[in-house]
Structure formats: C-alpha cells, structure tokens
Amino acid sequence: MSLDAFLALLVYALVTSITPGPNNLMLLASGVNFGIVRTVPHMLGVSIGFLVLLLAVGFGLGAVLTAFPALHTALKIAGAAYLLYLAWKIAMSRSMSGRKGAEGRPMRFIDAAAFQWVNPKAWVMAITAMAVYTNPDHPFVSVALISIAFTIVNLPSVSVWAGFGTALRSFLSNPVRLKWFNIAMGVLLAATLWPMLR
C-alpha cells in the first residue's frame, strides 16, 4: 500500500469513526450518565470489538455473508432488535450515576465488543474498508495495514464522544434536562437504523 493510499485510509477511518453512529451516541450518553472513568471499558470494547470484526471481514467473513443472504438478514434483524432495546434503555434513564437513587451501569467491555457484531455502521465501515483498501496481491499485509489504521484512529475518536458527554454532566445535572437529553439520545440511536432498513 502506497503512502498516499494509507493516508487516504487514515482519513476514511477518522471520518467513519468520529461521525455520529450507534457507538458514538451510546458513548455520549454514557459519558453524561456515568462519567469518563466508568465509560472506559465501553470505549475499549468498541475499539477492540471493531478491530476483531474488521479482521474477521478481512479474512473472509464478508464473503460468507454474501454467500448466505439469510444469515445476513438474521444478523440485521438481531442487530435492529438489540439497537432498539439499547435505545429504549437510554431513553428511559432518569438519573446520573453517583446521584442519590441512581440506577444502572455503563456498558461493559464484553457487551460493547459484542455489540460491534450487530452494529450496522460497524459492518458498513468494515466491509467498505476491506473492499476499497485491500490489495488482492498482498491480502494479509493490506488487512493488517487497514487494521493498524483503524487502531490508530478509533479509540481517540470514540473517546471524544465520551469526553463530550462527561463535559455535559454539570449542565445536565438538572433532572428535567437529563430526562430530555436521554430521550433525545434514545430517539437518535433508534434513528441510526434508518439507513439499514431502507
């Protein structure tokens, strides 16, 4: 892979990692509701889970889904159902962690990593990256370079969203503001299904 192609790949990884999507909206909500420290396992789960998905797609899983459309459809349905469940949980959250009577917990590392397998944006990112940037003459090297590019970019990108959420904690300490913020985040998270269902 040429230096120009690798730099283009880094830009693709940055743009797709930092723009709104299910992971970033959940991290924003987690930053608000639980703070940055308690959201770290969620951030790491997103980054490492996506890396594993990326490697799996690069080494042939994308071809399996193309060969078995029913499996692809089942994955989309499971992903949509889980995403709606998470959207509902966020929308119904009414108190921040650390406040008297607060309930709930941030997403665990394993939950965030597993979520990548049903996250429509993660699949689009992984399949597009592998389709555009792999070199058929050097498949292992190009898959490794794509994985390195996303590893460099993904964790800092998702951390921005959790950090922004943490910065909003003081403003959203008002229960009415928090309620409407969480409802808005739940609705936006559910809306991320639209491109997948069209």
Dihedral sign, CA of 111, 12, 148, 19? negative
183 or 189: which carries more pLDDT confidence? 183
For residue 102, pLDDT beyond 60: no
In percent, the amount of the chain with pLDDT more than 70 equals 91
pTM score of the predicted model: 0.79
End-to-end alpha carbon distance in the chain: 34
Tokens for 122, please give them: 């993660």
Lowest-confidence segment of 25-29, 101-105, 172-176 by average pLDDT: 101-105
Q: Hey, what amino acid is at 41? A: P
Mean pLDDT score, 151-180 = 89
Q: Which domain holds residue 71?
A: 3-196
Confidence tier at 130 by pLDDT (50, 70, 90)? confident
For residue 101, name the pLDDT band (cuts at 50, 70, 90): very low
Q: How many CB atoms lie within 10 A of CB 101?
A: 6
Q: Whole-number mean pLDDT of the chain?
A: 84
pLDDT at site 145: 92
What value does the mean pLDDT take over residues 94-105? Answer: 61
The predicted pLDDT at position 91 comes to 81
Of 165, 150, 125, nearest in space to 42 by CA: 165
Tell me how far apart the alpha carbons of residues 1 and 21 are, in angstroms, rounded to a whole number. Answer: 29
Torsion of CA 51, 53, 59, 62, to 10 degrees: -140
* Packed helices 120-133 and 139-167: angle between N→C axes, nearest 10 degrees: 140
Eight-class DSSP state of 59: I
- How many domains are contained in the chain? 1
